[in-house]
Chains A and B, each alone.
Chain A
């Protein structure tokens, strides 16, 4: 029997993959509710099936199909993702352990996220895109025992991020607001509704286009 208390926010391994506990519902048999960090899907489990992990500097993992390395090397900037590892919320704040938020403004003493939380600099680790060369990959607990299908999936991570039919994008342009759906793909050319045609790297440039949702996910 494992004497381990699962709490909201903890990073845990479940079926060998890294998850975040988003809720603990003591009344249910499957009391531990998890979110898989790799693709933000929900999974239900029980305390016996999970194993705690404490994220630290230079750990790297996949969050929503992108690889990030936890770092303290540089200061946070607007638009950066942060992982709140040492939460100490004030009266008007609403965040908990290991929450991932986006920086909206940087102040002397801390940052303000786009959820209007004021977070001091010592409360978080910066999530720097990409895998640092000395980083310690943590998305799998036991990298030896991963079955092949999982490995294949991992190499497909980049493919996962490519536009697929049914993706709805919004153009990031103040004067010319528009939303369009991917209706066709031919090699590197993406066809959007409304007769637009552009190369995939243009559509994946987050400064120009913002991914909203996929029609099939709804």
Chain B
């Protein structure tokens, strides 16, 4: 009986041990961890870079292929199923799931940093500004959403059409058949849990940095590591209480509030900011993005230093991949009854337009501010203090105190909701895809993910966060490549099933 139980919980136990080892390592040998992550960082540029670059571009091509393929009319679910949510709220939910803390954190910081340190060309020029916007579109555009499309589609197909549990290993059923319940399936699940923990820890780490920065700029709290750690502890206590007292409903209200505040901030900046410039930036950058798409997607620096690519492009690709199981589960859950074509338009195309618009409004007005004031110091200050970036930017706009408060509320809400919801997904993934993960396991993951975020901040802040996700997501990136093949096989068999049913109907 006991051995059976152990076997059932093997995914949870092994992934827990792996993360605990990592945490212990970080707490007791902090210097060693910093050294090793630095070593991984350099190695990742030389050895892993091309895998991330190639795989991510492949996901984009694969998703676009599926959009126009013969599989387009396949319905996720029974042929008689219809969508649970109307299209507008479906798109809003999708966008909210993929965005989160990251888009608030980077929307001002990224374009301005690129402007001061462009991937090529001279800094502080008009060209640098255009390149900065173009690369921001690139990092937040089709590529991340293509990763979500692949994993979301695969999960939806295996849950609704093949009636398999909501685990990552289920996606491989067309390839592995019943072996998904054996050691191979468990290994896949363990690697996906491991990647997810780091993806979430990265977001929580960024969130803690920014919540602290917000408190610093609004209430004058010191912007130090200790405060960041206190933020993590407080948030952990809040969502542990919410898991235990059934306050989770409150968290759902909070996440709706976050959506409303996001839209309000967006419109406010569009109005008080340089509206016409923002529109021009949106059009111009879209053109540049489409024109240079292939070059950017495959850009590496064989004859030079690849540091820029590693700290931006590779970090993002790894982060999105580490996030993918979390976002994919959510996207799959709300997409039952949609056809493959609808799904890809809704998950790949529309959110890409949305993020590009968001980036034009935030990044565009920040760049406009920096360029028009010809204040290189300001640009440098923003680039050096990325977690303060958005609050520094707000200081230069009308209604700055309202904007700062809204921005702070937004980040704080995103932080708590991500921390809370991710415990559910981690519980699900580590308990074989059950939709009723136990509270004990949810709480364990809640503490673990906060601890990982704290350890990463302790051993070096932002750079370590970036490096750790590049390393942890790597096995999962490989898994995702096989996932495409499995998805194709699954779609093929579904095509036969649905065609047969149609034939019967015609008689």
Contact = CB atoms under 8 A, between A and B. Distances in A.
Nearest to B442: A90
Nearest to A110: B436
A94 B428 CA distance: 16
B161 to A, nearest CB: 13
Interface stretch (A40-48, A63-71, A116-124, A195-203): A116-124
B504 interface: yes
Contacts of A109: 434, 436, 438
Given A91-B421, A177-B505, A112 B330 contact: no
Interface string B238-249: 000000001011
A90 B242 CA distance: 11
Please classify the interface of chain B as helix (H, G, I), strand (E, B), loop, or mixed, using the class held by over half of its residues.
helix
Contacts, number: 54
A107 B330 contact: no
Contacts of B505: 177, 179
Interface in B413-459: 420-421, 424-425, 428, 434-438
A216 interface: no
Interface string A98-134: 0000000001011010011111100000000000000
Nearest to B425: A91
Interface in A108-167: 109-110, 112, 115-120
Contacts of B437: 90
A88 interface: yes
A90 B84 contact: no
Interface residues of A, number: 20
Contacts of A115: 84
B435 A177 contact: no
Contacts of B504: 177-178
Given A107-B434, A116-B435, A117-B435, A92 B333 contact: yes
B248 A90 contact: yes
Contact of B435 (A88, A90, A178): A90
Interface in B247-274: 248-249, 252
A55 interface: no
Contact of A116 (B159, B421, B424, B434): B159
Interface string B160-172: 1000000000000
A195 to B, nearest CB: 14
B84 A120 contact: no
Contact of A120 (B252, B329, B330, B436): B436
Interface residues of B, number: 25
A92 B329 contact: yes
Contacts of B424: 90-92
B341 interface: no
A59 B22 CA distance: 54
B246 A88 contact: yes
A177 B329 CA distance: 33
A196 B84 CA distance: 35
A178 B505 CA distance: 7
Given A88-B249, A92-B330, A92-B333, A112 B84 contact: no
Interface string B482-507: 00000000000000000001001101
A116 B336 contact: yes
A92 B156 CA distance: 13
Contacts of A92: 329-330, 333, 424-425, 428, 435
B457 to A, nearest CB: 25
A110 B435 CA distance: 9
Contacts of B434: 107, 109, 118
A118 B435 contact: yes
Contacts of A88: 246, 248-249
B207 to A, nearest CB: 17
Contacts of B248: 88-91
Nearest to B417: A91
A91 B420 contact: yes
A94 B435 contact: no
A93 B248 CA distance: 11
A120 B434 CA distance: 11
Contacts of A112: 435-436
Contacts of B246: 88
Contacts of A178: 504, 507
A89 B436 contact: no
A91 B423 CA distance: 9
Nearest to B330: A92
A112 B330 CA distance: 16
A107 B436 CA distance: 8
B446 to A, nearest CB: 13
Interface of A: 88-94, 107, 109-110, 112, 115-120, 177-179
9 contacts: A88-B249, A89-B248, A91-B330, A92-B428, A107-B435, A109-B434, A115-B84, A116-B160, A177-B501
Given A89-B249, A90-B436, A91-B425, 11 more contacts: A88-B249, A90-B248, A91-B248, A92-B329, A92-B330, A107-B436, A116-B336, A118-B434, A118-B435, A119-B436, A178-B507
Interface of B: 84, 159-160, 246, 248-249, 252, 329-330, 333, 336, 420-421, 424-425, 428, 434-438, 501, 504-505, 507
Q: Which 7 A-B pairs have the closest CB atoms?
A: A118-B435, A110-B436, A91-B421, A91-B424, A177-B504, A118-B436, A109-B436
